[in-house]
Amino acid sequence: MTPYILYLNDVVNKNHKLIENFKAPVNWINNGTVYSLEAERKELFDYLENSINHSYKNSKPWHKSLSKGCQLCAEGSWSCLFINNICNATCVFCPTQQDNDETPATQGCSFNTPEEFADYINYFNFKGVSISGGEPLKTFEKTVAYIKAVRKQCNKDIYVWLYTNGILGTPEIFKTLNEIGVDEVRFNLGASNYNINLIKNARPYIKNITVEIPAIPEDYKKLTQLLPQLIEEGVTNLNLHQLRLTPYNIAKLASKPYTYTHGTPPTVVESELTALKILKYVSENQLAIGVNYCNYHYKNNYQKAGFRKHISSKFIKDESELTELGFLRKITTGGENNSIDLNTLKLDPETHGKINVSYSYYSLSDTNDLKSETETFNINSKAYYLKSKNTVSNLETTSRSFLENMNNKTCRDIADTALFKIFQKEIIEDEFPEYY
């Protein structure tokens, strides 16, 4: 079997293991269903190819505009603070349990005070901050305190946005959010059965109003009919997410007539098709609202790679280089200590012959688990722990093969295992993954 097929088999096995303890049956895509679903997606992409925008190696299709927050996300220049882990909604699609008011945290670090979080933002020079949950309005005083600290201590141009289902939103709350410097509010109207009245409380105070929801197949008609009202209420952007299957939501989602594809994570095929249909609808009708499809092909590449790059660029060592996917590459020739950079290799590949390539990345934490070597550094009085984690080591190939591999746009036809693994750490594929 080819390295690509072996990789897919591994993904399938991991997904089955993920849900094996749950009794709910899962309608995985198969040979009998894949062709019609792939054909439907191809037809939609063929229409959308020249009628909308396609950014970030075609991984993010969008109509009219992308919010500033979405642009910062793609750059890896933002930090999303999960202010709590409690929610007042009961969404079928929610991927995680939300019933505990935890310490605000992001990317392996928690922040006991607003000042600690603002120091973290300054240290890594993030250009955007978002506040999520749970539901940030459930702990409004805490939410306000952390936003105020960012506005007081950080660059005045930093872009701040907040996620909410809007159920607890009042004119007074949105007035306060405006006064403390929130640039954008994103409403998950899917949590309130698309109650547009929740947006009206924010309209007089919030400059940029976005609706951010999963693309729910059975709600296509309802949402497209609602679009003119959203525009009338001042909604500037509609962000559509891809439904995913998790151990937490499987009991509810598996009861619906969806088809699941083996991705990382498993996703709902019909959710993607619905997002593309909505993009086609707004394009055909030239509606004055920005719409983007935020899918897991994009998230697994640009969103994750952006954060890896942002952190690694602060600590990168001389012998390593950052790949497009945000991993640290080290090329050695003739011994572990004889490293060579990519530009030197390009100048004279034949001289160097066989090479070994290794990849790693940095992870950040404010706790030391003592399971691996760490570097300690302080941001003001708070200690943080930096860990270098190897992903693959000493992949042997030739200089010429390595350089030729860098020109590939997809890993599907790569026959050599080492080159396949190298591609997976180097390059973002320039097309959506197959369903099956």
More confident residue, 352 or 228: 228
Q: What is the pLDDT of residue 317?
A: 80
Q: What is the pLDDT of residues 204-213, one digit of tens each?
A: 999 999 999 9
Does residue 370 carry a pLDDT above 80?
A: no
Which of the two residues, 335 and 359, has the higher pLDDT score? 359
* pTM given for the model: 0.94
pLDDT digits (tens, 9 = 90+) for 378-434: 999 999 999 988 899 999 999 999 999 999 999 999 999 999 999 999 999 988 999
Does the structure show a pLDDT above 90 at 258?
A: yes
Q: 49 with 112: CB under 8 angstroms?
A: no
The reported pLDDT for the residue numbered 351 is: 79
Q: Lowest mean pLDDT of 286-290, 300-304, 367-371, 406-410, name the range.
A: 367-371
3-state DSSP helix/strand/coil percent for the chain, to nearest 5? 40, 25, 40
- pLDDT, greater one: 347 or 421: 421
Q: Identify the band that residue 337 occupies on the pLDDT scale cut at 50, 70 and 90.
A: confident
Contacts of 350 (CB under 8 A, 6+ apart): 399, 400
Domains of the chain and CATH, by start:
23-305 (3.20.20.70), 316-426 (no CATH)
Say whether pLDDT at 369 is over 80: no
Q: How confident is the model over 115-134, as a mean pLDDT?
A: 97
**Contacts of 35-42 spanning 24+ positions with Cβ under 8 A:** 37/259, 37/269, 37/273, 37/435, 38/434, 38/435, 38/436, 40/273, 41/272, 41/273, 41/276, 41/432, 41/435
pLDDT over 90 at 334, yes or no = no
Indicate if the pLDDT at residue 368 is higher than 90: no
* pLDDT of the residue at 374: 83
Residue that is written with structure tokens 């602060």 in the block: 314
Q: List alpha helices for 81-128, DSSP H.
A: 114-124
In single-letter form, the type of residue at position 353 comes to: G
Q: How far apart are CA 258 and CA 242, in angstroms?
A: 13
Q: What is the pLDDT of residues 60-98, one digit of tens each?
A: 999 999 999 999 999 899 999 999 999 999 999 999 988
Compute the mean pLDDT over every residue in the chain, rounded to the nearest whole number: 93
Q: What is the pLDDT of residue 17?
A: 85
Quote the pLDDT of residue 23.
67
Report in angstroms the alpha-carbon separations of 132 from 44, 83, 175, 203. Answer: 32, 6, 19, 20
In degrees rounded to 5, what are phi and psi of residue 49?
-55, -45
State the average pLDDT over residues 369-385: 84
Distance of CA 202 to the CA centre of its chain: 26
> Beta strand 290-294 with 328-332: parallel, antiparallel or unpaired?
unpaired
